[in-house]
Structure 1
Amino acid sequence: MWRTKGLPYTQQNRRLTWLLPLLCLFLWLLPACSNFTQDNQAGSSNGTQDAPPLTLSTSGRFREYTLPQAHSGLMRPAVDSQGRIWFSEMSRGYLAVLDPRTRALQQMTPPESAGGLMGVTVAPDDTIWFAEEYGNFIGHYDPRSGQFKNYHLPTLSIPDPQDAQKTLKLSSAPNEIVFDPHGNAWFTELNADSVGMLNTKTGKVQQYPLSAQPSVQKLNPYGLALDRQGMLWITLSSSAQLARLDPASGNVQLYPLPDPQLYLMQVTSDRQGTIWATGFNKLQLLKFEPASTCFTSYLVSSKKSQETGGTVYDVVALSNGDIWMSVPSENALARLDAKSDTLTFTPLPTSGAYPLGLALSSDETQLWFTESASDKIGSYQLG
């Protein structure tokens, strides 16, 4: 481990220098990727395959489970009530589940899978919901029956920049997904610059544009979180703002970020209602207090050079106030201690693992994460 003092980050007026290749391709080449994956995976079926028990390696508090194939495209995990880990394998088009007790892995290809599985969440009834960006639907899987059901989203039409007489068809591109207390599924729509709501009882989908004039690919809403007051918080990966949506009224509030060159990735809300968001193009953790509308920024870097370029991907908040992040450029997990305001970096055992998604066990004793470059599912024992 190594530590840095979590002092607020001083704004620097500098141009964007680079974006991590995976995220750059994912966000900016989404339409092209959609066409490619759909053309090449149109014949996929909802087959299920059981892999041999995964190889487990341990190092200190870390446990790593190696998947049976390379280039899985691991994104974000979710933990069900039995402690099983659900996750998407974007490059393979799989919805997968790992049972840590037996190391058993099951991989399923949802019907109409187009290689764009991203956000995965576990509903209160322990069924699985996921966002398929390229396939343009919200998917539902019931582990008890083994049945899938897809809820399709509107297709967008935009002028073809190369031919004014033609239009291009784009998916709404659902990305992150969360549930409200009423059982509705909310999700971000990268291309549609909107937040969608699926009434799981009726199957009806409603869209909430995040700008006064509906737009396409101007904001690119990415992360999504629900606070204790029922408000939805949305990160925008192409605009230096944090968005809040009131589900009751449909009203949207946009909060300009203190750094106009910062774009955000993931977001969460802690038990006090404070909002925490990660930097997409800079190594920052952003704290936002809704009551005062005040921002505090933390530089998430262990390097003495205080290099700011990079991505802090996911973020989770513990009940004790500690904040955990995945930092791909550091190949580490980072913790902001609630009492000392100090950042601690814990490097992963596997070099170049590129950690992305995070998920807490229900008792907050295990922090689960995906290693997108090493094709592993990892856990870190907390406490």
Structure 2
Amino acid sequence: MKKKGVIVTIFFGFILLSSTIMLVMPGMDPNSDSPEVSVTGTPADNFPDEQRAQFCGSGDAKSTKYVQEYSIPTECTNPLAITTDYDGNVWFAETNTGKIVKFDPNFESFTEYENPLWPPGGRSMMWGIDYAPDGSIWYTDESFDSVWKFSTLDEKYDRIAYPSEGGDSLPQKLRIDGSQIIVNDFTGNKLTFLDPNQSGEDVNYLSIPSPVDDSVTADFAIDEDDNVWFTNWLFQQGGVLVKFDQNGYRNTVATSGEQYLPLIDFIELYQLPVSLLTPNGAVVGKDGTVWLADTTSSSFFSFDPMTEKFIQYVTADPLLSTYGNQTGIVKTPISRPYWIESDDQGRIVFNEQTANNISVMDPVSQSLVEYHVPSKNPNWGDCDPGTGMMLADCGLAQIFDFTVDGDKIWFTEWVENNIGVVDTSIPLPLEIQLDSNVLMLTSGDSKDFDFVVSSTSQKDLMGVSLILSSTHDFLNVELNENYPESFQLDFDAPRPISLTIYASEDAVPGTYKVLLGAQLSDVAISKYVTVTIE
């Protein structure tokens, strides 16, 4: 267990932090000598005084036109995994208390359910959660190698031991799929299938080992044929996308009488692109496209199972307020897309961890909307100007999990003790009109390109900035005239933008995406241009 804890903390310590500075994780500072802990009788007592601002929250819940936040009544709960039930209630797990919490959006009220099975002072990252038709909440617990069941009917908890080999397991994301529960074991390198009708310590699991040795097994998704898609990868060393034919495996096991069969007969492997290093999130879209979120970049990727081709997409750069950069140490800020899902309209939804965004990408219109979450914790950015005073509106809320419920996207803020919701039905303040959505280039070639930014809000918009992003260094976007870094967009005067897109001499032939749009303080709206280099 200790070995797993160190490895996992180091890995997530890297992922948790922005690309600026390395902060110490709780309990991992080798130079700390019994730091002072003031007893408050709240979950904050799990942290020394000097770390409470960093992990317990830095201010009150905030809101924008598109995002509403709600403060959890109990201090320092560290909310993480989140889901909704059929009535629209929101359920989430508190990693610093072991409790499940219900939030009623109609009354804006929280109900925290005491967990008598939770050890005093226990903390655990609870990455996966789902709501079952029988009214139970299932969720994972990585510290104690457990899958938990909470009954919303009798308000009772049931801890189920997760199959761990040598203390190296980490049950992570969880999904209820018909009559089974699927869990990916991040460090145990396997997918686990569980019958939800079981309870207690003696539970039967079907564990499918992953095909790549010594790798991690990340998030998974299920297509319309019940194939399970997931990734195996080595940290910053690449990996594979795996397609597992679970129906073929189970049917063959049933007819052959064998308890286990070689996995190789039921999987297909696809090498990940070299630029895709940390594919945590995975989802299958309505058209069968597989989408992967890359947590060590500003990119997410599509994979077409028919053509077996990956295409890389890019987000807007994080706002300066998310990382501060008071020391000037940040050279290339990145957004770190983490988990990725889809909604009932076929749009792709993901969280940008170090951009403090919840983002919605429409594969049909090739548009991207990035909603900025207002709460920020300055202890997670380069926000100290050297005077001991933290900058206002600087830092990260550590938005790790979200769930889609119709037009609403609910999310948790791990270090701000809040939950929040994005309302995607609210009209956007501006629109982007492209000259064309495709462009053909050859290596060493360039072409002029135009797009128009227009206000749709019947008022002037202040503080507008342009988004000009590409996925590769050999594909550059440059403005043809000087534009101010921030400008006013008049509601009755659309602004044309003229630019040139260059492919350098060493450009690699292929299909690429360029993101063009405009950013406000609370939302960014962009569209993708598909650039083909021949």
The TM-score with structure 1 as length reference comes to 0.65
Aligned residue in 2 for 1:335: 421
2:176 is matched with which residue?
A: 122
Structure 1 residue 190: deviation in Å? 4.4
Instruction: Report the Cα distance in structure 2 between the residues aligned to 1:17 and 1:207, rounded to whole angstroms.
Output: 35
The percent of aligned pairs where both chains have the same amino acid is 19
What is the distance in 1 between the residues matched to 2:101 and 2:269? Answer: 44
Query: In structure 1, which of residues 166, 173, 176 is the aligned counterpart of residue 219 of structure 2?
Result: 176
Q: Which protein, 1 or 2, shows the higher relative CO under an 8 Å CA cutoff with sep ≥ 6?
A: 1
Matched, 1:151 2:208: yes
In the alignment, the residues of structure 1 paired with residue 298 and residue 316 of structure 2 have an alpha-carbon distance, to the nearest angstrom, of 8
Aligned to 1:75: 127
Note the C-alpha offset of 1:198: 1.7
Report the AA paired with residue 268 of structure 2.
Answer: Q
Unaligned runs of 5+ in 2: 1-17, 29-97, 250-265, 318-332, 377-390, 429-534
Task: Map 1:35-74 to 2 at 5 A.
Answer: 61-67=109-115, 68-69=118-119, 70-74=122-126
What letter corresponds to residue 134 of structure 2 in structure 1? Q
Q: Distance in 2 between matches of 1:283 and 1:20?
A: 18
Would the alpha carbon gap of residues 55 and 244 (structure 1) be closer, same or farther in structure 2, given more than 3 Å must change? closer
SS of the equivalent of 1:174 reads: strand
**Aligned equivalent of 2:43:** none
1:169-203 per-residue CA deviation (whole Å, 9 max, x = no partner) reads: x22x1121222221122223342533322211234
Is 1:315 the equivalent of 2:386?
no
Determine helix, strand or coil for the equivalent of 1:155: coil
Distance 1:144 1:20, change over 3 A: farther
Aligned to 1:165: none
Q: 1:288 aligns with which of 345, 351, 361?
A: 361
Q: Which residue of 2 aligns with 1:268?
A: 341
Q: 1:197 to 1:63 in 2, by over 3 A?
A: farther
Residue 56 of structure 1 and its aligned partner are, at CA, apart by 8.3
Deviation at 1:118, TM superposition (A): 0.5
The CA RMSD over aligned residues, in Å, is 3.0
Cα deviation, 1:39-63, whole Å, max 9, x if unaligned, reads xxxxxxxxxxxxxxx9888885222
Matches within 5 A, 1:174-253: 174-191=217-234, 192-203=238-249, 204-211=266-273, 213=274, 219-253=277-311
How many residues in Structure 1 have an aligned counterpart in Structure 2?
A: 279
The answer on whether the counterparts of 2:137 and 2:151 sit within 8 Å (CA) in structure 1 is yes
For residue 206 of structure 1, what is the amino acid of its counterpart? E
Q: Per-residue CA shift, 1:333-372, capped at 9, x if unaligned?
A: 1112233369xxxxxxxxxxxxxxxxxxxxxxxxxxxxxx
Partner-residue secondary structure (3-state), 1:202: helix
> Using the alignment, how far apart are the partners of 1:294 and 1:185 within structure 2?
27
Q: Describe the SS at the equivalent of 1:330.
A: coil
SS in 1 for 2:355: coil
* TM-score normalized by the length of structure 2: 0.48
Secondary structure of the structure 2 residue equivalent to 1:281: helix
Q: Distance in 2 between matches of 1:339 and 1:57?
A: 26
For residues 355 and 211 of structure 2, the distance between their equivalents in structure 1, rounded to whole angstroms, comes to 33
AA at the equivalent of 1:307: C
Conserved 8 A contact 2:408-2:424: yes
Say if 1:299 and 1:308, in contact at 8 Å, map to a contact too: no
1:135 aligns with 2:193: no
1:17 partnered with 2:20: yes
In structure 2, the CA distance between the partners of 1:89 and 1:227, relative to structure 1 (3 Å rule), is same
Q: Structure 1: which 5+ residue stretches go unaligned?
A: 1-14, 26-53, 157-169, 343-383
The residue that corresponds to 2:160 in the other structure is 108
What amino acid is the match of 2:312?
L
Contact 2:128 2:175 in 1 (8 A): no
Aligned to 2:415, the other structure's residue is in SS state helix
Query: Are the aligned partners of 2:244 and 2:267 in contact in 1 as well (CA < 8 Å)?
Result: yes
Larger Rg over CA atoms: 2
Distance in 2 (CA, whole Å) between partners of 1:18 and 1:91 is 26
1:254 to 312, 315, 319: 312
The separation in 1 between residues aligned to 2:401 and 2:337, in whole angstroms, is 10
Q: Distance in 2 between matches of 1:57 and 1:256?
A: 35
Deviation at residue 130 of structure 1 after TM alignment: 0.7
Query: Once the 2 structures are TM-superposed, how far is the Cα of residue 18 of structure 1 from its aligned partner?
Result: 4.4
Q: Bigger CA drift: 255-264 or 54-63? A: 54-63
Q: Secondary structure of the equivalent of 2:246?
A: coil
Q: Distance in 1 between matches of 2:153 and 2:25?
A: 32
